[in-house]
Amino acid sequence: MRLLVLGGTGFVGGAMVTEGVRRGWSVTVFNRGLHGVVPRGVHRLRGDRTAPDGLAALTGGGWDLVVDTWDGAPRAARDAARVLADVVGHYGYVSSGSVYTDHSTVGLHEDSPVVDADADSVDGDYPQLKAGAERAVREVFGDRALVARAGLILGPGEDIGRLPWWLRRIERGGDVLAPGPADLPVQYVDVRDLAGWMLDAGARRLGGTFNAIGRPAQTTMGELLDACVAATGADARLRWTDPTRILAAGVQPWSDLPIWLPIGHPNRGLLEQDVTRVHAAGLTCRPVTETVADTWRWLREVGAVPPRAGRPQRSSIGLDPTREAGLLAA
């Protein structure tokens, strides 16, 4: 297979490249050449999809499959799809469950309402950008397009820092503020499982839209944090705390305590999506212990969460240690 990855040096795009190389495929990346490195043997095309004639390097090529993780202006996704329409057999676009209009609904499925978005737009918030890019890719590739609406993505290479924050916090040991309940379901997908499924789907020319994420009860907060304790080998004590007390103290789910979205949160539906379609189409997910252990091994090798390739850096993630200590003392 001849694989083209638009981007290819970030978290998800990098996993696509790594998986393509592992399979022995011919892999090409297209980006500005300003961030990251690519594995040996990967061909690099340089260009800026937002600049005039910035897609010129893609003309004249030929690939079986392209994977695109773009989260900018939908117009740029449309322009790239048009350039590749006659030289690529299949287009895989990594979208997000954020495109759904109501994030509080449990059981969101692929036909649930999505935000209004224009394929020709040049701005918008994150859900609008992703929804507009979805529309752009479908308009050009039709049944040859695979839209993977990913949810929470974890695993080695994570450049946002959600799971790495928990690993580093637990590494410090001592009492750890653990947001209850311990049996709260956490729905996620390991980036390597997402990459493997998308390349499998592309190889067999699977089209359509899929909630590309693990099952709602794939793991729990308790299992996730226990795996962090086991992976780090730290002398950490998880202090499970009722969510009402945490919220009353002004702690913000997802940002102050990454990954955690308590029952009743306006975005809780994003961690309880319907995944019947994607698992029937072959998605399989490794156990959380493997995801956590491999992320810890990678984090120790690189030392710190890498910057997000070509994207604005997010504000800091995780609860301030002084604030956590005060909450535990209370």
* Backbone angles phi and psi of 11, in degrees to 5: -65, -60
pLDDT value for 236: 98
- pLDDT per residue as tens digits for the range 183-214: 999 999 999 999 999 999 999 999 999 999 99
The one-letter code for the residue type at 41 is: G
pLDDT for 237-283, tens place per residue? Answer: 999 999 999 999 999 999 999 999 999 999 999 999 999 999 999 99
Domains of the chain, by residue range, sit at: 2-153+190-212, 158-186+216-273+286-329
Q: Is the pLDDT of residue 140 over 90?
A: yes
The pLDDT of 99-119, averaged and rounded, is: 97
In this predicted structure, the answer to whether residue 81 has a pLDDT above a threshold of 80 is yes
Q: What is the rounded average pLDDT for all residues in the chain?
A: 96
pLDDT at res. 307: 86
Fold of 2-153+190-212: Rossmann fold (3.40.50)
pLDDT digits (tens, 9 = 90+) for 145-190: 999 999 999 999 999 999 999 999 999 999 999 999 999 999 999 9
Q: Cis link prior to 181 (omega < 30° from 0)?
A: yes
User: What are the distances in angstroms from CA 64 to CA 43, 48, 53, 92?
Assistant: 15, 22, 23, 11
Do residues 219 and 195 lie in contact, with contact meaning Cβ atoms separated by under 8 Å?
no
pTM of the model: 0.97
